[in-house]
Amino acid sequence: MSLLEIAELSKRFGGVVAVDGCSLAVADRSITGLIGPNGSGKTTVFNLVTGFLPRDRGEVRFKSRSIAGLGPDRIYGLGIGRTFQLARIFPRLTALENMLVPVRRAGLRAMLSHGQWRHERERAMEMLEFVEIAHVAGTVGGALSYGQRKLLELAAVMMAAPELVLLDEPAGGVNPALLEKIAEQIRKLNQQGVTFLLVEHNMPFVMNLCDEVVVLHQGKAIANGKPKEVRENPAVLDAYLGT
Amino acid sequence: MKRKALLLLPVAALAVLLPLVAPDPSTTNIAVFTMMYVGLATAWNIMGGYTGYISLGHAAFFGFGAYALGLIMVHLNITPGYGPFFLVPVVGLLTAVLAVGIGWIALRTRAATFVIVTIAFMFMMQLLAENLVKVTGGGGGLGLPYPHDWGGDFFNTPYYYAMLVLAVLGLLTSWWIRRSKFGLGLLAIRDDEDKALAVGVPTRTFKLTAYVISAVLVGMIGAVYAYYVTYIYPQFVVDPLIGISMVLMAFLGGLGTLSGPVIGALLLEPSQLEFAYRFGASRLYLVFYSAIFLIVILLLPRGIVPSVRDLIGRRRTAKGVT
Amino acid sequence: MGAFAPWFKMTLVLEAAVLGILTGGVYALMASGLTLIFGVMRIINVGQGALVILGAYLSFALFRSWHLDPLLSLVITMPLMFGIGVLLQIVFIRPLKTDREALSVLVTYALALGIEGVLGYVFTSNLVQLRAWYETASFAVFGFHITYVYVFGFLLCLAILGALFLVLYRTSFGGALRATMLNRTAAQLVGVDVDRVSAIAFGIGVATAAAGGVIFGITNAFNPGSHYDLISRLLTIIVLGGLGSLRGAIIAALVMLVTEDITAVVISPVWATFVFFVILIVVLIFRPQGLFGVRVRERI
């Protein structure tokens, strides 16, 4: 069963065609990698799926429901979370406050009630412990190290229990020890039922972690399958070496 | 938390008992205007301080509230006295309707353009006030009936309490918002609006709500002002200087803090009144204004309260106290 | 008269349109400085109106003391105002590090108030106007009367805007300026001294205010408080044109002024100013980024 389906998705910026009839599917409960040479359109696909960019053509379906045209906040509410290429957190809020911002259901009572806070706070502290940064809960985001921000970003996104998480270069700018930690956390969350689609350039990371890999080239999906299959696919090699 | 409450008690007591302690009209007059600005700055802060969207056109709501109360009183033949104070919430409701309309359009834009659009709306309001002569009396102004039987010394007192009530209302609202998930969402919008969207914060709704709440408070304060001064002119109620004063006070005290706007108002308004009294005839008081403004922004960009907090925090770590 | 009424109105409308184009040129000049400043430094100079009035008063003072023709006085006032602009930028704008956009609005507003205060103290709040021999002289074209002043003003605006475009697109400084407008960080990385570029750009913006001030001062009575009305129009124009777009500012100025002047003739002068803002609202509803603006997502 495909949790996320993208069909013939297209997007151009002026004269540049960033995404050109891209079609792919993300299986439920999988860890799927999205790879491809620079400029192949990976982050643009993310932005299209999460509502940050309007699409020109094509369909995006989540749990068989079309989500094209919805704003990013609605999409998060439906259960799709995302992280950014350069880890983004709220610099003037503490780590704990960062965890309390995400909104799953924007109801009036949820917004105004203070009582609910306690329950959320407990959950937030649990998540912070899970990613092992509970000791900086009271530190403002701007004072955290980059590694801590990355972990905070992931933990915060998980607050509303999304079913699908799009990770934009989770291994980017991260030392090997932290890398292993991040991979472990992704695996653990995946075992709990979360589906991941991640964009990455770090091949060993992708090959080790992902069940499925999709290769993008010039805005189109040119191959997909198990990591080993894809690695030996001549079209893929051509794409990477040819450009 | 307990210590803060203890500090607040004498301040609150003073605020409530002021007209009894210092009943002479010149003092109570200053008190009315100061409390007015405490309310205005606090109300403005709900939008500007929490979301980071700077509205320089809030004077439009102030003027609207003033004219709304004036017109209601005149056309419905309301007898002056304590009654009109109960019309103020009605003015609040009307201001809410206006604010939803203006806010919906103004918030279609990002922060930089938003500032300009709020200024534009303020000038539109001024134009309407000046040119809808049959309705507002135009440049000739509008007179409000006032209670003639409130004697010289007593006259200012009810207005002071009205302003106090509105200021407290503003503070309570601001405090409540600050502690809620809604408030956290506003602060998130200020830090990184796109990231806020990405984690599900309904930014359009939140911004509009903050804008309307802040506008309603300002409108109600404008209504009480009109009732107090008893005669209003377009350029003195839809007055850019009032609009910019509330912004300056919030900045001086510290954007996004609860006590900041209060401190800013308490510091600036009495001195502003004093200066206008001495130099009002010439335009020099504008220069004074300008100078204070520039000094505040360049030397204390974060405002008094955050700077003081930082200072205390640093001394604490230096002393080894956690 | 009945059969001629539509014809009569038509000529009035055409005359208003022509007037709109001519005065639009003046506003285009003043607005271009404003949008340039935003483009380079991402700050909104709410004091531009006050600077225009300052320029007008400087010419007024020169006329009063030395009987210097206002248009000629530009030779003195433009460089002077350029210097003032650079100074203001260095002293008041450059120190702003955090929260630039918001704080700069307040700083420039404060400067505007300061300028208004000083001018009020020196010149009082009486209305004045710049005098020149050609201010009422006009010539006839196809039955319309066009006053020389407006034409001079328009030509001056064309000249200065033309010079501006030349600088922007034909000089290396202009290239550095455009680079800074497109991407400040990238420009820095390729070696552009963005601080210097910003200061000079601000100076240019203020110098254009001086030029605009002269034309404005000849065709309008003004006093220190006139900057409010002026800045509200200028801001509306640059928002309509798209913040940072020079082309947008010019076209928006022409569109706004022509519409305003035609409205003054067809409906009434009172509502003409109002129409200004109505256009803004309509545009904002359908195209919030303005005519030539770009929908900016800060980072994606």
Beta bridge partners of A198: A33, A167
Measure CA A59 to chain center: 19
Q: Mean pLDDT across the stretch C222-227?
A: 90
| C297 found inside a domain | no
Q: DSSP letters of A173-199?
A: T--HHHHHHHHHHHHHHHHTT-EEEEE
Which residue does chain B place closest to A161, by CA atoms? B199
Which pLDDT band, with edges at 50, 70 and 90, does A151 fall under?
very high
**Structure-derived torsion over alpha carbons of residues A193, A197, A203, A207, reported in degrees to the nearest 10:** 40
Write down the pLDDT at residue B59.
95
| Residue A55 · residue A11 · CB < 8 Å | yes
The CATH number assigned to the domain holding C196 equals 1.10.3470
State yes or no: pLDDT of C248 exceeds 80. Answer: yes
Convert the pLDDT of each residue in A5-44 to its tens digit.
999 899 988 888 889 889 999 999 999 999 988 878 888 9
Residue-wise pLDDT for C6-49, tens only, equals 666 777 788 888 888 888 888 998 898 898 888 888 888 999 99
Q: Tell which C residues from 45 to 84 touch B, by Cβ distance under 8 Å.
A: 46
CA distance A37 to A32: 17
For residue C275, the model assigns a pLDDT of: 86
Q: Note the pLDDT tens digit of each residue in B46-91.
A: 999 999 999 999 999 999 999 999 999 998 888 888 888 999 999 9
State both tokens at B320: 């080894």
Decide if A43 and C297 are in contact by the 8 Å CB cutoff: no
Where is mean pLDDT largest: B63-72, B232-241, B293-302? B63-72
Least reliable range by pLDDT among B228-242, C150-164, C230-244: C150-164
Kindly tell me the sign of the dihedral angle through the C-alpha atoms of A126, A132, A138, A143: negative
* Position B249 pLDDT exceeds 80: yes
CA–CA min distance B40, chain A (Å): 23
Look at residue C88 and tell me whether its pLDDT is greater than 80: yes
Residue B225 is classified by DSSP as H
Q: Return d(Cα A21, Cα A221) in angstroms, integer.
A: 8
CA–CA dist C252, C234 (Å, integer): 10
Quick one: pLDDT band at residue C297, thresholds 50, 70, 90? very low
**Rounded-to-integer distance, Cα C27 and Cα C16, Å:** 16
Dihedrals φ, ψ of B283, to 5°?
-85, 10
The candidate with the shortest Cα–Cα distance to B248, out of B226, B235, B263, is B263
Number of domains in chain C: 1
Interface test with B, best of C119, C123, C226, C232 (most B CBs within 10 A): C232
Out of B127, B283, B293, closest to residue C110 by CB:
B293
The percent of residues above 90 in pLDDT, for chain C, comes to 19
The pairing of strands A31-35 and A195-199 is: parallel
pLDDT in tens, B82-122: 888 999 999 999 999 999 999 999 998 877 789 888 998 99
List chain C residues with CB under 8 Å of A52: 297, 300
**Is C295 contained in some domain?**
no
Asked whether C167 and C41 are in contact (CB, 8 A), the reply is no
**Is residue C120 within 8 angstroms of chain B, CB to CB?**
yes
Percentage of chain B lying above the pLDDT 70 cut: 95
Predicted confidence at residue B2, as pLDDT, reads 63
Give the pLDDT band of residue C173 (cuts 50, 70, 90): confident
B17 has a pLDDT exceeding 60: yes
Task: Inform me whether the C-beta atom of residue A102 falls under 8 Å from chain B C-beta atoms.
Answer: yes
Radius of gyration (C-alpha) of chain B in whole angstroms: 20
Q: Mean pLDDT, to the nearest integer, of B1-9?
A: 71
Give the pLDDT confidence score for residue C1 in this predicted structure. Answer: 45
Give the closest residue to A48 by CA, choosing from A14, A82, A78, A15: A82
Q: Which of A61-70, B209-218, C132-141, C227-236 has the lowest mean pLDDT?
A: C132-141
- Coil, helix or strand for C100? helix
pLDDT band at C94 (very low <50, low <70, confident <90, very high): confident
Structure confidence at residue B321 (pLDDT): 44
Q: Are A98 and A156 in contact (CB under 8 A)?
A: yes
Share of chain B above pLDDT 90, in %: 49
CB-based contact, C223 to chain B, within 8 Å: no
At A108, the pLDDT band (50, 70, 90 cuts) reads confident
Q: Using the predicted structure, report yes or no on whether residue A163 has a pLDDT greater than 70.
A: yes
Instruction: Say if residues B82 and B158 touch (Cβ distance below 8 Å).
Output: yes
A233 — phi, psi (to 5°)?
Answer: -70, 125
pLDDT at residue C280 is higher than 90: no
Q: Rounded to 5 degrees, what angle do the CA atoms A44, A46, A47 make?
A: 65
Cβ atoms of A157 and A81 closer than 8 Å: yes
Restricting to C residues 265-284, those with a Cβ less than 8 Å away from any Cβ of B are: 270-271, 273-274, 277, 280-281, 284
Chain C adjacent subunits, 3+ CB pairs under 8 A: A, B
pLDDT at B281 over 80: no
Q: What pLDDT, on a 0 to 100 scale, did the predictor assign at position A116?
A: 61
- Please identify which residue in the block is written with the tokens 């600005």: B37
Residue type for position B275: F
Structure tokens at B70: 């004036």
Q: What is the pLDDT of residue C300?
A: 31
pLDDT at C289 over 90: no
What residue in A sits closest to B185 (Cα-Cα)?
Answer: A101
Strands A57-62 and A2-13: antiparallel
Q: Which of C95, C106, C297 sits opposite B293 (nearest CB)?
A: C106
Q: What is the domain extent for residue C129?
A: 4-286
Q: At B246, which helix (H) or strand (E)? A: helix B240-253
Average pLDDT, chain A: 88
Q: Is residue C20 part of a domain?
A: yes
Residue C81 counted as domain residue:
yes
For B162: left if phi > 0, alpha if psi spans -120 to 50, otherwise beta; the answer is: alpha
> Could you give the dihedral angle defined by the CA atoms of residues A195, A197, A203 and A206, in that order, rounded to the nearest 10 degrees?
0
Residue A219 is predicted with a pLDDT of 87
Quick one: residue B141, left, alpha or beta (phi over 0 = left, psi -120 to 50 = alpha)? left
Question: Does residue C179 lie within any of the structural domains?
Answer: yes
Å from A5 to nearest chain C CA?
22
Q: Which residue has the higher pLDDT, C106 or B217?
A: B217
